Structure formats: C-alpha cells, structure tokens
Amino acid sequence: MRHLFLKNRLFLFLLIVAIGFTVSFGFPFLFPVFQIALYAVIALLLVDVFILFNRKQQISADRTMANQLSLGDENKISIEISSSYTIPLEVEVIDEMPYQLQKRDTSFKFSLSPQNKRQIVYSITPLERGVSEFGNINVFVSSVLGFAQRRYVLDRKVTAGVYPSILQMRKHEFQVFNKSSQNQGVKKMRRLGNTNEFEQIKEYVKGDNYKHINWKATSRKNKLMVNQYQDEKSQQVYCIIDKSRSMKMPFDGLTLLDYAINSSLAMSNVAIKKGDKAGLITFSDKIGTQLKATKNATQLKRIMEVLYNQKTEFLEANYDLLYQSVKQTVKSRSLLLMYLNFESFYSLKRALPMLRRLNKSYLIIVIFFENTEISKASVMNCEDVADVYLKTFAQKFTDEKRMMVQELRKYGIQSILSKPEELSVNSINKYLELKSRGMI
C-alpha cells in the first residue's frame, strides 16, 4: 500500500530478533524464544496496520486563509486536524506551500487525543506578486505501537493572489487618522495656510482667525461672526512608477518596484480618505497603465488590481514619452509622486530636463532610493586595505545620492531620498506636509 510506511522502531525490533537468531545457532535452546519474538513483532505490526487503516476511523483537515495575500507581510495560515480514531495518535502534518516560497522542509509534529481536534497556525511572507497555489495537506499518523505509519493525502488545493501590501495600507491609514499616531512614524501636520474652499459662517470663538470675520453677518446678528474654511479637497494625486530595469534591484527579498507598488497603494488610500482624487501612471521604455484620478468608492480596488499585474521591464526609462503622457492625461495642476531610481548622477541629469518641465505645470515629488547596503559599507570599520577601498567607494556613492537631492532642490523640485522599508511612511509624511502648507 503506497500510504503505508514502516517506522524505524519496527526495523530495530527485527534487527534484535535477527541477531537473536544468529546467537541461537550456538545456543539451540534460545531458538524457540526468538521465534516467538518474531511472530509477536509480526502480529503487532498487523494489529498496528489494522488499527491505522480501519475505514471507520479517519483523519480530516481544513485550511483557512485569506483569498488575498499581502506582499512582503506575514500572512497567517490555519490548518485544523480532526481525528475520529478512538486511540491517541502521533501526527505529523506537511502542508504543500506555493513553489514561490521554496519551502519544502516545514512540518508540524504533535500528539492528538482520541476523537479530538488540533489547530496549527503558521505564517508565510510572500515576496512575489501573482497567483500562489497551495497543494495537498499531507497527514502522517501512527499509533502508540509505532511500528507503522499511515499517510493521508487530503486534496485541499487552492489558489490565492499575492497583492500589494494590504496590511501596510491599513496600518498607515490607521496611523494617519488616529489621534495618537504621532509616535508611530506618520506625522500629523498642523495646517499652515488657508484655502478658498468656504464651509460655513459661525459665531466667533476664542482662537478663531480675526482675518475671517464676516462683517456683514456680524452687523446682522449683532455679534461677531466668522467664515469657516475647510481643507481644500478633490485635488488630484498621481503616483507615477518607473518599471525600468533599475527598479529590479532587490532589498530584503522584494524589488524596488515592489516597494514602490506597496507605497503607491498606501499613498492612494490615504489620499482618497483625505478627500483627494488618486490616479496612477506606470512607464518604462513605453507607457504602461494610465488610470485617471478619481475618488470613487471603487477607485482603490481598481488601483490594487492594476498594481497586482505590474512587472519590471528590462529596458531604459523613456522620460520624454512620460512627459507627453502626463501632459495628455493630467489636465490640471496636480501632485505627482514619482517613484524613480537614480543610481548615478548621470542618470539624474538625463531625467532632469523632463522633471523641470513637469515642475512648471505640476507639484512633483521625486522619490528615489537609498542603497542601504552601500550606506552600511560607508560607515564600516576597516581591517585591511580591501575594506578601505570598499568604504571609500561606498562613501562616494552615498555622497552622490545627497548631491542628487541638492541638485533637485536647486531647481525647486521636492524630493525624498528613502530607505526602501521606510518608503511608505516618508511618502505619506511628505503628502501631509504639503497639504498642511496649502501647496495642494
């Protein structure tokens, strides 16, 4: 039977009996003893097999998980094992995980009481967007005799999509709109400017701006009345993502493109919740997706579905084509968050004319990445000449990144130089800062 496995304990007993038979050639009176022992072992094996393969006693298993897995986050998977056996069992469970995880040695061993259930909870961290397929659940059971083991192959195949980080999106949403979020990375910014979006006329209270006193309403009511304004909403916020080969660079298992996608989803969610319109543009050597900015209830879902299918293109980015596309798609002044990756000052110089032209018509934020490995090398302790050379080159590249920030600032272009893992927080903070200053 292909689901029957003989355990080491059986082979140990058989080895002892075989040695006994060998010894009994010199001591014939021991032969019947070891013959009985052999029959006893065979009888126990048959009893063990009969118990394990009794059709009235079975093992069942169910896997519980989300339909959408979150990229780069821990996603919990739950398996419930149920036994109808009337004896205690030793159980080993092997779940067939998606091949993208490259995990083939994860198993869970435990004891299971008669006619009882046991829940296993483990987590996985997907590092690749797309469809992930879970296979069968393999359950190996053995009785207290431990001579044989039965394998149950339970067909629980299911597919789940690995989407941009939904958990990260919800976390940042909570931090932005929670009053106690100041200590959690996202800054809540006090509004410095005023907009022209009128809300209502109300009675003056201490602390209101004197400049907002409505003298006509004051004369009619015979008491001080002020105009109340609210943050101007329905501004357009576009996330522009570079998909060229420079975004293929990996950090902690995720590519820079994945970090940009996770950040874009979190940023779009916050913008929509703030009353602004969120849109998306992707590009490489050609223009990819163009999703016009709206604040409809379904817009975030559309953005998520679009981001789910983005792949890196292994060609250079075409910035002139991007400029033409933006001018055709974005008709009014908007905030453009541009997720790019400049690894050298030359690559920035090549894109700078396009960035300066865009900055005349829109408010743009150029977001590029700090190479954390090079940053670590730039402050390393040197032990030999090779370390000195490595540290010198690392400092050169680190200084070049800072020069890029200064170069962009020289032309009045907003920029963010961010570690990949801090990208979402830094992008949202910059958006809140610009909104508080009345720039969008």
Residue extents of the structural domains in the chain: 4-52, 59-163, 166-190+232-436, 198-229
Cβ contact 186:433 at 8 Å: no
**What does the pLDDT read at residue 11?**
63
CA distance 392 to 307: 38
Cβ contact 159:131 at 8 Å: yes
**What does the pLDDT read at residue 195?**
47
**What does the pLDDT read at residue 185?**
57
**What does the pLDDT read at residue 191?**
46
Indicate the burial class of 391 (C-beta count within 10 angstroms; 0-12, 13-18, 19 or more).
Answer: middle
**What does the pLDDT read at residue 408?**
93
**What does the pLDDT read at residue 192?**
40
The CATH number for 166-190+232-436, chosen from 3.40.50.410, 3.30.360.10, 1.10.3720.10, 3.50.50.60, is: 3.40.50.410
Residue 410 half-sphere exposure, CB side, CA atoms within 13 Å?
Answer: 8
Cβ contact 430:270 at 8 Å: no
**What does the pLDDT read at residue 28?**
66
Radius of gyration of the chain (CA): 33
Antiparallel, parallel or unpaired: β 363-369 and 414-418? parallel
The CATH number for 59-163, chosen from 2.60.40.1180, 3.55.40.20, 2.60.40.10, 3.50.50.60, is: 2.60.40.10
CA distance 425 to 172: 7
CA distance 107 to 94: 5
CA distance 295 to 272: 6
CA distance 216 to 224: 10
**What does the pLDDT read at residue 311?**
87
> Going residue by residue through the chain (440 aa), what tens digit of pLDDT does each one get?
456 655 666 666 666 666 665 656 556 655 566 666 777 777 777 887 888 888 788 899 999 998 889 998 899 999 999 999 988 999 999 999 998 888 877 889 999 999 999 999 999 999 888 888 999 999 999 888 877 888 999 999 999 999 998 888 888 887 777 754 544 556 655 444 444 556 688 888 887 887 888 888 888 888 888 888 765 557 899 999 999 988 988 888 889 999 999 999 999 999 998 889 999 999 999 999 999 999 888 999 999 999 988 888 878 889 999 999 999 999 888 999 999 988 888 889 999 999 999 999 999 999 989 888 888 888 888 888 888 888 888 888 888 888 999 999 999 999 999 999 899 999 999 998 888 777 77
**What does the pLDDT read at residue 5?**
59
Place of tokens 């030359």: 346
**What does the pLDDT read at residue 81?**
94
Q: Is the dihedral of CA 290, 292, 293, 298 positive or negative?
A: negative
**What does the pLDDT read at residue 194?**
44
**What does the pLDDT read at residue 166?**
82
Cβ contact 373:420 at 8 Å: no
